[in-house]
Chain A
Amino acid sequence: MDYILSIVILACINMIAVLGLSIFTGFTGLFSLGHAAFVGVGAYTSAILTYYYSVPFPLALAAGAAAAGAVSLVIGIPTLRAKLRSDYFAIAILGFGEALRVILENLEITNGARGLPGIDSFTTLPVVLLCLAAGVLVARNFLRSRWGVACIAIREDPIAAEMAGVRLFQTRLLSLVVSAVYCGLSGGLLAHFLSFIQPVMFTLLQSTQLLAAVIAGGMGSITGPLIASFVFIALPEALRVAQMWRLVAYGLLLVLIMVYRPQGLMGYSELSSLWRRKVPEPGRRQP
């Protein structure tokens, strides 16, 4: 039972990070290969706060999320202002994530590459579920707000959106910060669940896994990526497939999705719309 519980908790923690990336990638249309670094910043900030300074857990979680948001500004301001081509941006943030990891590996306070052991395990199922529910609610409201609609407009056509008065830089930056805050929260929960963190847990591979969940779940959908990330975490654990083959399958899945179903599992629709009226697909440009 404990085993199943821990899988569920792990999957929910992952879902929070995927939710964040979904706002940035699925709804704003920018790809990131570096969001695992934000998870790492959140994890380390909150873990250091509870470990060295015995800050209360909720406060440390909030601080971790805030730190991730602040760090995202460092990369977001120059790259988003420069209006990089979308694939250049993905690579810039990849480089940023890797650089951040190297820094984590060489700081005194993070205990370097050996990792930080013995973090108190405060993360329980109710805490995770509460965070996830709050996260979904906030994401839903954000996407229905002015800013969220602006994000979606940018995804559909940045130039048309700009002409209609959407401020590209500010909106994209906001979306990046929001997504980084989600990742930071997920990191804080992760650190206090595993009670051990190590820089190697936040590499390009993890960023790819997050992105894979968003793409497999479907761009422009909240529920799709959540389902995908749950399946990605829970299914291999349940089937007890070796860790390596899981990653082989991730890679294959990414290629197959791009080749056969680039819109993903639930592209541009939500779970709820399956039994409600059929939502027409937003006007996607024909290739």
Chain B
Amino acid sequence: MFLQTLITGLSIGGIYALMAVGYSLVFSVLNFSNFAHGAVIMLGAYVGLALATKLNFGFGLVLAGSVAGAGIIAVLNEKLAYSSLRRRKAPSLYLMISAMGCAVFLENLVYATIGSRFYAFPEFFGRQVVTIFGSSVSLLDVGAFIFALIAILGLHLFINRTRTGTAIRAGVCDMTMCSLMGVDLNRLIAIVFLLAGAFAGVAGVFLGIKYLVYPTMGWVTNKAYIAAVIGGLGSLPGALAGGLILGVVETFVSTYISSVLRDVFSFTLLIAFLVWRPNGLMGIDSEEKV
């Protein structure tokens, strides 16, 4: 029972981590919470769904299509809703409100056009079950967890080993200086949003397969946000750790204490972290500067 709960928690935590990475990436560069990330995840899931049901694509193609779709949507989102604010150096709260507006806009646009119906992905994995240490886990859960680990590791390597990655890290430290050194900021930020969107696409497909696809599914990213805060906003290893911790802790709370109190518990954890440890476990310094 204990092991079963732990593994279920880890697999949910993997999806939280995928979502939290997108949040954290944008936060580390632009220093605001991108509430529209949930909407991008939702749209990514719809793109994947359309490819899977209308065109009968296999899992790999669905994932690729959804990654591309969500990436493009995220970049467009930045160009239309954030870029002019960013150039004006508006306070980060303006960006946050704009992001909130995007989330409300996109979600209700889907409501108004596609409708509030719940859609299910075709069964890619069937109901296959693998046995680990005597406890049975669905193949999807294991796959999601492993895929999340690989994807986040890949992103980590990209950021630490490539030229573009170096530019992103420079931008995190000091935007102005970075641009003086000849980095094209617009391009850099577009890449950051493309990466965040790509992760949103992956998360959307896994969420859609595990649960269902519906317009408000993006609100699960509240959890991703909590995960990012626990790990430390702006830190990739932090996002991974925070996602896994939150997934495991939540599963334990709902198994051993009460499934109703799970969300109350998560939000309390969020507030506790914000109050006592706003930089999370591995976050960068985030004091409001004079």
Contacts and interface: CB of A to CB of B under 8 A. Distances in A.
Interface string A173-193: 000000000000000000000
Contacts of A87: 32-33, 92-93, 96
Contact of A253 (B101, B111, B290): B101
A258 B98 contact: yes
A90 B271 contact: no
A255 B92 contact: no
Interface string A78-113: 110011111110111011101100110010000000
Contacts of A252: 101, 105
B248 to A, nearest CB: 19
A95 B275 CA distance: 13
B255 interface: no
Interface string B59-81: 00000000000000000000011
Contacts of B161: none
B202 interface: no
Interface in B47-61: none
A108 B270 CA distance: 26
- Classify chain A's interface size: 35 or more
Interface string B100-142: 1111111111011000000000000000000000000000000
B112 A215 contact: no
A248 interface: yes
A254 to B, nearest CB: 3
A26 to B, nearest CB: 13
A262 B90 contact: yes
A86 B93 contact: yes
Given A85-B286, A251-B103, A99 B275 contact: no
A95 B229 CA distance: 12
A91 B267 contact: no
A161 to B, nearest CB: 13
B264 A102 contact: yes
Contacts of A250: 101, 104-105, 108
Interface string A132-152: 000000000000000000000
A254 B274 contact: no
A90 B93 contact: yes
A89 B75 CA distance: 27
B104 A251 contact: yes
A85 B278 contact: yes
B268 interface: yes
B92 A96 contact: no
Contacts of B105: 248, 250-252, 254-255
B179 interface: no
A208 interface: yes
17 contacts: A33-B100, A92-B274, A95-B271, A99-B263, A99-B264, A99-B268, A102-B264, A211-B100, A242-B112, A244-B111, A248-B108, A248-B109, A251-B101, A252-B105, A253-B101, A255-B98, A258-B94
Given A82-B278, A87-B33, 15 more contacts: A82-B276, A86-B93, A88-B286, A91-B229, A95-B268, A102-B260, A211-B97, A215-B97, A247-B111, A252-B101, A255-B80, A258-B85, A259-B84, A287-B88, A287-B90
